[in-house]
Amino acid sequence: MNNTMTISKEKRRSRIITTLIYIFLVILAIIYIVPILWVVITSLKNDSTLMLSPWAMPEHIEWGNYAFAWTKGHLGTAMLNSFIVCSITLIVSMVFGSMAAFAIARLRWKLSKLAMYYFLIGMMIPIHTILIPLFVQFSQWHLSNTLTGIIVPYITFSLPITIYIMVGFFEGIPNELFESACIDGCSVYKMFTMVALPLAKTGFMVTGLMSFVANWNELLVAMVFISNDAKKTLPVSLTKFVGPYHTNYCQMFAAIMIAIIPTIIAYVAFANQIVEGLTAGAVKG
């Protein structure tokens, strides 16, 4: 009798605690979602109604704000540029990175450990430090104001993490697989393409995701290297469109929406994979 009483008391207490936890989590979720919802709502208003009641729902939906931001704000161009830059960076850094990782993890040479440390040091160097020398150098090479001029540093900064993660994956492949490939008469290049690469798919997903997200959102390098409106990437176009021109707020909100919508869509579709992938990458880093 006494025993059951305490159990039900315990149960009630834990139920209250669970409810409190949920209330806390929901409030927090609201803090995360409301600002973004506010942007959505405001981006569909016009300025005159915005100033009167910034938090009210729009009376007439103004799609024109989006059209303005897309064309006059150069966000359409910018999105294309961002996509080109991120895709090329992704591919090149994966190819170069996995090749180097294979050499470090599988090939036998004296300096492989040293090479690994060399790349690892790169992870600690903030891009700010090399911004000025790169700016000077790329100016002389006529790479400033071209997309190539930002792709090259992006690849370089994606390399260390790519190599580090891929080394982990390649080292995890059982030696027997390579030995049997060797008996089958595979060359070392075939071993890389036929044995190592197919077994490191997860590694590619993780590193690819990290590099794409980081470069899609990168502002500083792109801002320093790109002068021409036609070459700007998304974060730069957004910054430079919203900053000085904000006489029409609703159009600015539409611009912000355009900038984050692709990421949100991708995120909603693949949230679990993205979160797990990025976390796996960060854990390893």
Partner 1 sequence: MDKLMRNKKAIILFIAPALILFTAVLFIPVCKAVYYSLCNYKINYQPKYIGFKNYVMLFTKDKTMAIAFKNSIFFMIFSIVTQLIFGLILAALLTNIKKGRNLFKNIYYLPCVLSSAALGLLWMFVFMPRLGINQMMASLGWIEDCTMGPEWLFNTDGFIILPIWVISFVALWQYVGQSMMLYMAQISGISMDIYEASYIDGCSKKQSFFYITLPLIKPMVATAMSLNAIGSLKFFDLIYNMIPEGFLSHKADVIATHLYTQAFKFSKLGYGSAIGVILLILCLIMTVIINKFVKTESYDM
Partner 2 sequence: MKMRKILAGILSMAMTAGLLAGCGGAAPADTAAPAADTGAATEEAAAPATDGDVQEISFMIWDDLEASEDLITKGYKESVDRFNADFAGKYHCTPITTNLEEYYDKLNALVAAGDTPDVFIASPGANLNDYAMTGVAAKLDDYLDADGWKQTFTSDAVFAGGTYGDEGGDGPGIYAIPLNIAAACVFYNTEMFEDAGAAVPKTFSELLDTCQKLQDKGYTPITISAGTAWCLSMVAGYLCDRNGLNLQDIKDHKTDWKDEKVIKAGEQLQELSQYFQKTAAGDDNDVATAAFYNGEAAILIQGSWAIGQINGSCAEGFADKVGVFAFPAVDGSSADPNRVIAKSDSLCMSAATQYPDAAIQLIKYFVDDTASKYTAEIGGKIPVTSVQYDESIAPPELKYVMDVFKNASSTFGFYNESLADTEAGSTFDNCFVEIFKGEDPETALDPIEDYYEMNVWE
Q: How many residues sit close enough to partner 1 to count as binding (CB under 8 A)?
A: 98
| DSSP label of 195 | I
Taking CB within 5 to 8 Å according to partner kind, which of partner 2, partner 1, none is near residue 147?
A: partner 2
User: Interface with partner 1 by CB under 8 A: which range of 62-70, 83-91, 153-161, 197-205?
Assistant: 153-161
HSE-up of 126 (CA within 13 Å, CB side)?
Answer: 3
Could you say whether residue 250 binds partner 1 (CB under 8 A)?
Answer: no
Among 63, 117, 245, 267, binds partner 1 (CB under 8 A): 267
Nearer to partner 2, 88 or 120 (CB): 88
Nearer to partner 2, 143 or 234 (CB): 143
Residue 102, burial from CB neighbour count under 10 angstroms (0-12, 13-18, 19+): buried
Residue 252, burial from CB neighbour count under 10 angstroms (0-12, 13-18, 19+): buried
Could you say whether residue 23 binds partner 1 (CB under 8 A)?
Answer: no
Of residues 67-86, those binding partner 1 (CB under 8 A) = none
Taking CB within 5 to 8 Å according to partner kind, which of partner 2, partner 1, none is near residue 253?
A: partner 1
Q: Where do contacts with partner 2 occur on this chain (CB under 8 A)?
A: 72-73, 77, 80-81, 84-85, 88, 135-136, 138-148, 151-152, 223-225, 227-231, 240, 243-247
Least Cβ distance, residue 198 to partner 1 (angstroms): 17
Q: H-type helices in 172-226, by residue range?
A: 175-183, 188-190, 197-199, 201-216, 220-225
Among 7, 25, 57, 265, binds partner 1 (CB under 8 A): 25
CA angle 163, 161, 225 (to 5 degrees): 115
Could you say whether residue 36 binds partner 1 (CB under 8 A)?
Answer: yes
The whole-angstrom distance between residue 270's C-alpha and the CA centroid of its chain comes to 13
Least Cβ distance, residue 61 to partner 1 (angstroms): 20
Locus of tokens 């700010």: 128
Torsion of CA 75, 223, 278, 37, to 10 degrees: -40
Could you say whether residue 44 binds partner 1 (CB under 8 A)?
Answer: no
Which pair of structure tokens corresponds to residue 268?
Answer: 């909603």
Taking CB within 5 to 8 Å according to partner kind, which of partner 2, partner 1, none is near residue 142?
A: partner 2
Locus of tokens 């994956």: 169
Q: Cβ contacts of residue 189 below 8 Å, gap of 6+?
A: none
Nearer to partner 1, 68 or 216 (CB): 216
Least Cβ distance, residue 236 to partner 2 (angstroms): 10
